[in-house]
Structure 1
Amino acid sequence: MPRLLYVPIPLPNESILSILYRCAKHNGLQRLDILSSACSGLQFSSLGLPQWYLGRAHQVLRSDPLIDETDRKKIDAIFPKKVRINGQIHADYGTCQIHWSMLRNKLALCPACIKTGHLNIMHNFEFSEVCPIHGCIYITKCPTCGKTLDWVHLKDYHCPCSYDLSLASTDVVDKSYSIVVYEAFCNGNQSFLERLRHCMMMTHTISTSKQRHTIIDFCTKISLLDREIFFTEIDKIHDLTPSLHKRALLAPFLLGKDPAIRDLAIQYWCGLEQVKPEQCGNDCPCESLPLTRKELNYIFASKEEVSNLIADNKILPIPRQTPIIKSLRFYRCPNLCNTLRNNSTIEWYEKNSAAIADAVFTPITLADAGEYLKTTAYEIGRLIRYGLIKGLALPTHPFISTTKEWVKNFNDTYILKSHLDIAINYKKKPLKQLTNVLQQGLKTRLGTHPPPTVYYRKDLPSFMSKALKALADSESDVTHQHIRGKVIRKLINVRQEDMKRLQQLKILNPKYRLNEKSYFQLLYTKSDVEKGIAWRKKHKTLEEAAAIIGCEKIFLYKHFIKNKYITPIRLSMYYLTDAEVAKCSEHFNTYTTPAKASTEVGMMVEVFKKNFLDSGLLTPLPASHPHAIRNQVTLKRQDARDALENYFLDKEVPCRCIFKRRT
């Protein structure tokens, strides 16, 4: 390993590239290509390659005899480990894991940071365009020659054309949202950073925009999940494209992977009403809006129509826009607003109404709405199609949704015949003067199926209104309420086939009682609900336990249950007690197996056994050990990791990708 005259010690939150620049400068080598030659090659073929844990640059710095163990740990801490989480490569910085697409492949510099002599770690990431320390917009090109910064051939931050990059003039802007991202990274706010990445993927124009920092700020604001801020930011886009239909305006957010952002987009959709525009404005930017094929299919509500528009050259393919999603092909519709205006399937309103952020807005599924109205999800869907309940067609599951407010508005005005029958106990038929709201002129709307029978509440005679009120009072009296098995099963959150087993275990004690239709049914009481919920809180399914432990469900079964390390309750599936989950979690975090340890570094099991078990470097737990699992070779996890790290250091090759699964 080559010797250096000076090894820089990392400053707080300093980027790896900054350390390499300082190392080259203070060793009198000036440029990184010269430093690489002096160190027998530091893998400088790309910007990201020398920045990984146990890469050549890391090994040269940490193995130098000039540094002590304390400084070595500081150097180890700044180099991220390459991990694979759910099939995606991430950079593990300790506090959080950053997706590979968020790592820069081109150099970006803050002139103010250059003057201080070191660069902040946020220079490494695509989600940072403004320095959180100085508020300067990063520069990526030389102001003199106009070329992209050549990070390997910079000489003390001087471009090969001899221009001093610390003198570059750059705008100083508001850095408050850049600080938000910086603090999220330092504090390990993984969920926020993942949401920010998803939001950047929704914003396809991000790599081509001249005001890229404003789009990053926009994504940061959206990722905060503040309802008021979200509506304000979408309103700004809507003001730029007032004639653009909300299907196109909100398509990226409705189709996005983040459910929290999708819920905010659903509320905005429900509140925004647009009148059919006369024509598209001359300054409307809709013709340059990049859209994916999936978004186009949703906007036009028809795959066939999108295919026809592409064939007629009314939708044109454009070059791929953003490095975050290189594999996607993008399209633009030169006359998007007018094309949507002339589309007969697009819904317009009689007046314009702005979306208002409502804190109590809660979208619910058709099944939840059915429980509220004492009917089925199918009936709710029919009422939505007939226009009596306002509904929302979504591009993702559950595809059709409504809200509590819309269902309540229906219930305040109308009454279903099925609910009315329950109230009067099926003893009297509805009076002839009651007219079905949907009886006239709507029977053919859904083909041969007759419309649901719905009455106006104001038309009900007094005895029916009293019966409905009495039914509502009895349902609100939970002390004497008898509950059906379907309802209690959902409250306890178990499968239908598990109900009988819970009765055998004396957890539930149902009895045959008269129901509202005057025949006997197996019903439960409030006491059954309380006992069932209390039992369920203390017992976890395999999936729930795996999420708590941090392992795969199949590993939990094969490693702990199949080998009789724990004996969970067996119903239609396994249920683990809290003590069993804690026991498995402690074992999983303390011990490992040859197969698990080798998989984490991409090594074959046979190679692992040959180098560590057969050679005696690692000693398995004896069969008499209380934490030993039968039919399994059990190793201490920390010993296995230390042995693997020493193995790769001796090999002087970068560590292979570590596999993890985020639950």
Structure 2
Amino acid sequence: MNKLVFFPLPKPRESVISLLFRCATGNGFQTLRVFSAWTHLKLRNFVNPQCKDSSVCKLLSNHSLLEPDEKADLLNSFHHPVLYGTRTHVEIAGVAFPQAVLRDRLALCPGCARDGFLDRLHAFRFSDTCPVHGERYLEHCPQCREPIDWLRLHDYHCPCTFDLRQAPLNLSSKRSSELLSRALDEGNQEFFQLLLASIQAVRFGRAPESCSQLIASCVNIATGNKAAFFLEMEKLQGQLPSLHRRALLAPFLLSPDPTLSRFAQEYFYNTCQSKPYSHAADCRCGELRFSARELNFIFTSGERAALLRSDHRCIRSPHLDPTVRQRAYQCPDLCRSLYTFPHIQWETVDEPPVPQLEFELMSHQNAAEILQTTPQTIRRLISTGLLKGFKFNTPVGLATTLESIKAFNDKYVLREEIARRSGLKNAKKLRNLLYGLVHIVVRTTLYARGLLVYQRKHLSEELRSLLDRQAVSIIKATGDFGDHVTFGEAARQLNVDVKDVRALRNLGILEFVVVPPKQIRNSAGRPYCTTKSLREAIAWRTGYVSVQEVKAATGCDTHLIHSQFIKTGFVPSVSLYNTYVTVEAATIIDRHFKKYTTLNLLSSTKHVSVTVISELLELGKIQPLAADHPDYISGVAVVEREEGDNAIANYIRERPVRLYRTYSSGIL
């Protein structure tokens, strides 16, 4: 081992196997088999020699003539084994990978072979194209069709004497490989975590002939761009048009990766898909593989049992993807099985979803609080389709969104709400008021009490105006409450949270007094608000609005109001349990939000990358406000909304390919 005369120094992004090839060739050995016999190296396994604790690493790094920095570069080229839980990982360039993602045989780029060294990406299963030359990796000799024997290669000549450097040119798009190489240079662990989660969700091993397109899709998703995820799901849905999105997205919805699951929830919820009436004979839905947990999500327990008893029962099939170890099942005629089961919800139109700036599911309990009804009522409304919602296998459970609640409230009204808002507690008077109106009866069972729902357009003008009035006005006549008012009543009068009442006392706006109960002796009593201070607080409240009220009036999200206007000190605010701003400040926020936007919001709302925004800034197409501008916000890059929209529109018009479709040309 000490007789070696040549020790290779690693080139940028060079793989360990390439170092080993150069070491053997530089010392006069024709093949690695001869080299290993002479140096007593055991090179039977393709993966182990690439690890830092291997005999190959010791051979190349323990030479006395190596400088400390040269030795460090050599050691950094090798994979560092680490243990996460019970699974072995390898750390490469600061990123931890499961050992199963490494190839167990050689795949090389003919262009790299012509250059004399191999790029490190050839060692990964999820990379099939060289990021430098754009050539597809060779795994078999084009002449003898045998797998490339890395121990018997002689100057990149196969044992059959074919020169692999002269292999027929097989070019492919190298965009995905370049993204992989850049993420590895940056040590971007989040990128590769999302990539591996996407690979496990799409299970690229289930369709070997389309691995390249599926890998490219996974790389696009791994960028963390929601628009890219939506685009890839649209491609997949286009290939399986009659497959319900519940099955299409099941591996993503149940993914342990929170980003992937969150994107899938939004796509699943906002997509509109009509029920198909036929199943194409060449549909490949029967090739899709699902875990038992995913089948439980797709079908109810009764439907799954019926499916397993039928002629088209789910059959167990092994995964071709070595990174996935769970059992998988195939269901022939999956599309037909889904659109024949009654519990699967379909819409009346087909409409792809549009990524939202913020999307958040809320439980049916929270929805009940907003509509001031019971969770049971929300469940019944969702089950009948009047309120859009779905059952997710997440802690949220039965979920809906604030937008869906608003859409329901704009179109429908519950009978109990009419009774509450009208103040008619007498059932007979309420029946007379609603006499002749067409209503919808919601029943979950045959003999259950019907839940009456009315369409707002069928109500009288007087009743609609009563219902459209805010539940609690900001300013109300105090009424005759005597000298003291309870906290709850004070909160209702001020249209604030009860917890804000105590905070108003700390500001000196409200005064509290302790009134002992009349019938209990030696009792400390309970605190009340004085009526006088409540009148003063109402006068104070006329000049202030809550952040939630600003959102309702301007459409600006509460998170944006806090981060862009309040935390930066652009407008003054008062922090109680909730945050309040003056009416003048709310007007400033409204004007600023309609006229300006930030670079991050511009990128998200227009679905363009940060690279495009940076390019427009360099070209001077977008000009952030200067620090001396009256609308400048400290620490926030603000641009005129119209200027940003026009710049992006012109940029897209000048490009030969639309910017929204530049993620990948591969179709699943």
TM-score range, shorter chain: 0.5 to 0.7
Confirm or deny that 1:483 pairs with 2:531.
Answer: no
The within-5 A match list for 1:206-217 is: 206=205, 208-217=207-216
The answer on whether the counterparts of 2:500 and 2:578 sit within 8 Å (CA) in structure 1 is no
Aligned length: 500
Confirm or deny that 1:38 pairs with 2:86.
Answer: no
1:335: Cα distance to partner? 2.4
Name the residue aligned to 1:185. 184
The within-5 A match list for 1:625-636 is: none
The 1:385–1:211 alpha-carbon spacing in structure 2 relative to 1, beyond 3 Å, is closer
The answer on whether the counterparts of 1:4 and 1:64 sit within 8 Å (CA) in structure 2 is no
The answer on whether the counterparts of 1:273 and 1:354 sit within 8 Å (CA) in structure 2 is yes
Name the residue aligned to 1:249. 248
The answer on whether the counterparts of 1:7 and 1:66 sit within 8 Å (CA) in structure 2 is no
The answer on whether the counterparts of 2:93 and 2:184 sit within 8 Å (CA) in structure 1 is no
Confirm or deny that 1:529 pairs with 2:529.
Answer: no
1:448: Cα distance to partner? 5.9
The 1:427–1:192 alpha-carbon spacing in structure 2 relative to 1, beyond 3 Å, is same
The answer on whether the counterparts of 2:415 and 2:453 sit within 8 Å (CA) in structure 1 is yes
Letter in 2 for 1:331: Y
Q: Distance in 2 between matches of 1:89 and 1:203?
A: 23
Letter in 1 for 2:164: L
1:87: Cα distance to partner? 4.4
1:303: Cα distance to partner? 6.3
The within-5 A match list for 1:561-572 is: none
Q: Distance in 2 between matches of 1:344 and 1:380?
A: 20
Q: Distance in 2 between matches of 1:448 and 1:487?
A: 45
The 1:334–1:480 alpha-carbon spacing in structure 2 relative to 1, beyond 3 Å, is closer
Letter in 1 for 2:341: N
Name the residue aligned to 2:396. 398
The answer on whether the counterparts of 2:251 and 2:294 sit within 8 Å (CA) in structure 1 is yes
Deviates more, 1:156-165 or 1:480-489: 480-489
Q: Distance in 2 between matches of 1:316 and 1:408?
A: 44
The 1:337–1:434 alpha-carbon spacing in structure 2 relative to 1, beyond 3 Å, is same
The answer on whether the counterparts of 1:277 and 1:341 sit within 8 Å (CA) in structure 2 is yes
Letter in 2 for 1:399: G
The within-5 A match list for 1:158-237 is: 158-206=157-205, 208-237=207-236
Letter in 1 for 2:287: S
1:172: Cα distance to partner? 0.9
The within-5 A match list for 1:92-107 is: 92-107=91-106
The answer on whether the counterparts of 1:438 and 1:452 sit within 8 Å (CA) in structure 2 is no
Q: Distance in 2 between matches of 1:471 and 1:307?
A: 49
Match among 381, 384, 391 for residue 383 of structure 1:
381
The 1:84–1:512 alpha-carbon spacing in structure 2 relative to 1, beyond 3 Å, is farther
Match among 332, 336, 343 for residue 334 of structure 2:
336
1:138: Cα distance to partner? 0.8
Q: Distance in 2 between matches of 1:143 and 1:101?
A: 27
Per-residue CA deviations over 1:210-241 (Å, capped at 9, x if unaligned) read 24222111111222343433333222222222
Per-residue CA deviations over 1:594-613 (Å, capped at 9, x if unaligned) read xxxxxxxxxxxxxxxxxxxx
1:351: Cα distance to partner? 4.0
The 1:443–1:247 alpha-carbon spacing in structure 2 relative to 1, beyond 3 Å, is closer
Percent identity, aligned pairs only, is 31
Per-residue CA deviations over 1:401-441 (Å, capped at 9, x if unaligned) read 21221111122234456666776789888833454999978
Q: Distance in 1 between matches of 2:247 and 2:436?
A: 35
Q: Distance in 2 between matches of 1:433 and 1:420?
A: 13
Structure 2 residue ranges without an equivalent (≥5): 477-490, 504-525, 532-545, 547-573, 580-668
1:456: Cα distance to partner? 5.1
1:79: Cα distance to partner? 1.7
The answer on whether the counterparts of 1:157 and 1:166 sit within 8 Å (CA) in structure 2 is yes
The answer on whether the counterparts of 1:434 and 1:460 sit within 8 Å (CA) in structure 2 is no
TM-score of the superposition, structure 1-length normalised?
Answer: 0.67
Per-residue CA deviations over 1:293-343 (Å, capped at 9, x if unaligned) read 333333333366257536745333333221111x22233233223333333
Per-residue CA deviations over 1:443-482 (Å, capped at 9, x if unaligned) read 6424665455655556377489458635444299999454
Q: Secondary structure at the match of 2:208?
A: coil
The within-5 A match list for 1:611-630 is: none
The within-5 A match list for 1:134-149 is: 134-149=133-148
Name the residue aligned to 1:363. 361
Q: Distance in 2 between matches of 1:333 and 1:486?
A: 56
The 1:13–1:205 alpha-carbon spacing in structure 2 relative to 1, beyond 3 Å, is closer
Per-residue CA deviations over 1:490-509 (Å, capped at 9, x if unaligned) read xxxxxxxxxxxxxxxxxxxx
The within-5 A match list for 1:525-564 is: 528-529=576-577
Letter in 2 for 1:529: Y
Letter in 1 for 2:298: I
Q: Distance in 2 between matches of 1:486 and 1:81?
A: 55
The 1:440–1:169 alpha-carbon spacing in structure 2 relative to 1, beyond 3 Å, is same
Q: Distance in 2 between matches of 1:487 and 1:118?
A: 72
Name the residue aligned to 1:263. 262
Q: Distance in 2 between matches of 1:183 and 1:283?
A: 39
The answer on whether the counterparts of 2:439 and 2:455 sit within 8 Å (CA) in structure 1 is no
Tell me the C-alpha RMSD between the 2 structures.
3.8
Per-residue CA deviations over 1:613-638 (Å, capped at 9, x if unaligned) read xxxxxxxxxxxxxxxxxxxxxxxxxx
Name the residue aligned to 1:545. none
The answer on whether the counterparts of 1:420 and 1:468 sit within 8 Å (CA) in structure 2 is no
Q: Secondary structure at the match of 2:19?
A: helix
1:150: Cα distance to partner? 1.7
Q: Secondary structure at the match of 1:91?
A: strand
Q: Distance in 1 between matches of 2:172 and 2:463?
A: 70
Q: Distance in 2 between matches of 1:443 and 1:47?
A: 65
1:129: Cα distance to partner? 1.1
The 1:461–1:213 alpha-carbon spacing in structure 2 relative to 1, beyond 3 Å, is closer
Deviates more, 1:201-210 or 1:174-183: 201-210
Q: Distance in 1 between matches of 2:437 and 2:24?
A: 81
Name the residue aligned to 1:563. none
Higher relative contact order (CA 8 A, sep 6+): 1
Q: Secondary structure at the match of 2:113?
A: helix
The 1:166–1:259 alpha-carbon spacing in structure 2 relative to 1, beyond 3 Å, is same
Per-residue CA deviations over 1:483-531 (Å, capped at 9, x if unaligned) read 2469999xxxxxxxxxxxxxxxxxxxx955599xxxxxxxxx9755279
The within-5 A match list for 1:359-508 is: 359=357, 361-375=359-373, 377-416=375-414, 431-435=430-434, 442=441, 444-446=443-445, 450-451=449-450, 457=456, 459=459, 462=462, 465=465, 469=469, 471-474=471-474, 480-484=494-498
1:53: Cα distance to partner? 1.7
Confirm or deny that 1:112 pairs with 2:111.
Answer: yes
The 1:187–1:97 alpha-carbon spacing in structure 2 relative to 1, beyond 3 Å, is same
1:135: Cα distance to partner? 0.6
The 1:513–1:488 alpha-carbon spacing in structure 2 relative to 1, beyond 3 Å, is closer
The within-5 A match list for 1:57-76 is: 57-76=56-75
Deviates more, 1:224-233 or 1:48-57: 224-233
The 1:375–1:39 alpha-carbon spacing in structure 2 relative to 1, beyond 3 Å, is farther
Letter in 2 for 1:125: F
Deviates more, 1:453-462 or 1:156-165: 453-462
1:290: Cα distance to partner? 2.9
Q: Distance in 2 between matches of 1:371 and 1:15?
A: 59
1:119: Cα distance to partner? 0.7
The answer on whether the counterparts of 1:321 and 1:330 sit within 8 Å (CA) in structure 2 is no
Letter in 2 for 1:38: W
Q: Distance in 1 between matches of 2:287 and 2:169?
A: 28
Q: Distance in 1 between matches of 2:179 and 2:9?
A: 27
Q: Secondary structure at the match of 1:529?
A: coil
The answer on whether the counterparts of 1:142 and 1:148 sit within 8 Å (CA) in structure 2 is yes
Letter in 2 for 1:250: L
The answer on whether the counterparts of 2:110 and 2:165 sit within 8 Å (CA) in structure 1 is yes
